[in-house]
Amino acid sequence: MREMISMVVVLTVLTAVSGGLLAAIKSGTELRIEEQVLKFQKAPAIAQIFTDVSNDPLAERFNVETEGTTLQVFPGKLEDGGTAVAFETKGKGGYGGDVGLMVGINTDNDQIIAVRVTTHSETPGLGARAKDDPSFVSQFADLSLEENLDLKNNNGSIDAMSGATITSQAVCLAAIQAQELYKKLKPEILKQIQ
Amino acid sequence: MAQSLAKEFTKGLWAELPPFRLVLGLCPVLAVTKTVENGLGMGIATTFVLVFSNLLVSMLRNVIPTKVRIACYIVIIATFVTIVEFLAQAFAYPLFLALGIFIPLIVVNCIVLGRAEAFASKNTPVMAIADGLGIGIGFTLSLGAIGLVREFLGAGTITIWGGTPVFDMTSVFANFQPFGFMIEAPGAFVALGLMLAVMNLIPSK
């Protein structure tokens, strides 16, 4: 009996201390990790989407509130005088968790400029091609936001990557989510850009 | 005391060098040694976990009941692995991306659990730290060495830190063609096997 109690007590104390320690370290590093993700994931994606902007989308980023969550928006001034925005959405149901997708939209004609995959944990060589090989995500370029951004077998206009249907579906879900968010938040976003 | 402390430390560097002498912990050895930088990064992460888990296991060795000792060791090891994961994300993000799934997998690295069970649970904290440091540094240098062979042959470069190569074959021979096989997974087996063969030519004692 004494042994039983000591086993329970030791394991409980150990896991409790471990949980507390990890929570403290997580909140301590959170801000820095966010900065690093911005620098190494979002910044390269934005640079590839906005190839010819005259401003610094990273420095001019602003937040838009939507249903309790905050959407980080990166504005871009296009060479032809138009404006564009980029923001990130998370596609649920990838092979290794959510797939982050940075979507750039021209606010003048509501067309997608380009999209790029950011954070993901897909299989290298299969799903990870969504990020490494831009031929899949380049299908989204210049599509109108009125278009169905789903895969072709769901009556959409996007060809899935062979061998990586689940990842392709997650990317499409992220794009559709971006489409809906943009339609809902466009007035708000335009107000903030001015 | 000082002599046995030195002995515990140096055994990890040669006589019990993990990947070559004990042939343990081969999963990260084969998977992350594409470049010297990745190998060293993985080694440092493992050393951190090894030293702190050894210290904790040794300090608690009279408190932990024998029947649940493995569960306790895993909790301790997993805690430090998660700390390493947070720190890598916060301070070495490109390395975190390169190592990917292999950082969380340190939890099931048999070197870490093996040292906790075979050494730290029977020795004083100071000895346990010496043991962890020795094995960890030996592991780091081994990973670096395999990374050096694979990167040098497979890509013609040597990258120690920060993603920029300190040496590039193309600057010596302009038409250098890398032996790409060494970067692929089968090349890891070949590199490890050849290095093991060389190590076996040298007596361990």
Bridge-based pairing of strands B157-158 and A111-117 is: unpaired
Q: Treating both helix axes as pointing N-terminal to C-terminal, what angle do B125-154 and B110-118 enclose, rounded to 10 degrees?
A: 160
Give the model's confidence band at B205: pLDDT under 50 very low, under 70 low, under 90 confident, else very high: low
Q: Indicate yes or no: CB of B75 within 8 angstroms of CB of A22.
A: no
Task: Report the distance separating Cα B90 and Cα A25, nearest Å.
Answer: 11
Nearest neighbour of B79 by CB, restricted to A7, A22, A32:
A22
**pLDDT at residue A10 is higher than 70:** yes
Nearest neighbour of A10 by CB, restricted to B64, B87, B91:
B64
Q: Indicate yes or no: CB of B72 within 8 angstroms of CB of A10.
A: yes
Contact present, B150 and B187 (Cβ < 8 Å)? yes
Find, among B167, B136, B137, the residue nearest to B35 by Cα. B167
Dihedral sign of CA atoms B151, B155, B158, B163 in order:
negative
**Both tokens of residue B164?**
């920029």
Strand partners, A70: A65
**Both tokens of residue A181?**
């968010």
**Both tokens of residue B105?**
């997998």
Q: Tokens 């980080």 sit at which residue?
A: A72
Interface ipTM > 0.90:
no
Largest CA distance in chain B: 63
Average confidence score pLDDT of chain A: 88
Q: Indicate yes or no: CB of A32 within 8 angstroms of CB of B97.
A: no
By the CB < 8 Å criterion, does B67 face chain A? yes
The tally of CA atoms less than 13 A away on the side-chain side of residue B6 is: 3
Q: Indicate yes or no: CB of B67 within 8 angstroms of CB of A32.
A: no
Residue A182 identity: Y
Whole-model pTM over 0.90: no
Give the model's confidence band at A78: pLDDT under 50 very low, under 70 low, under 90 confident, else very high: confident
**Nearest chain B CA: its distance from A163 CA (Å):** 20
Residue of A nearest to B98 (CA): A124
Q: Indicate yes or no: CB of A10 within 8 angstroms of CB of B82.
A: no
Highest mean pLDDT among B4-13, B113-122, B172-181: B113-122
By the CB < 8 Å criterion, does B86 face chain A? yes
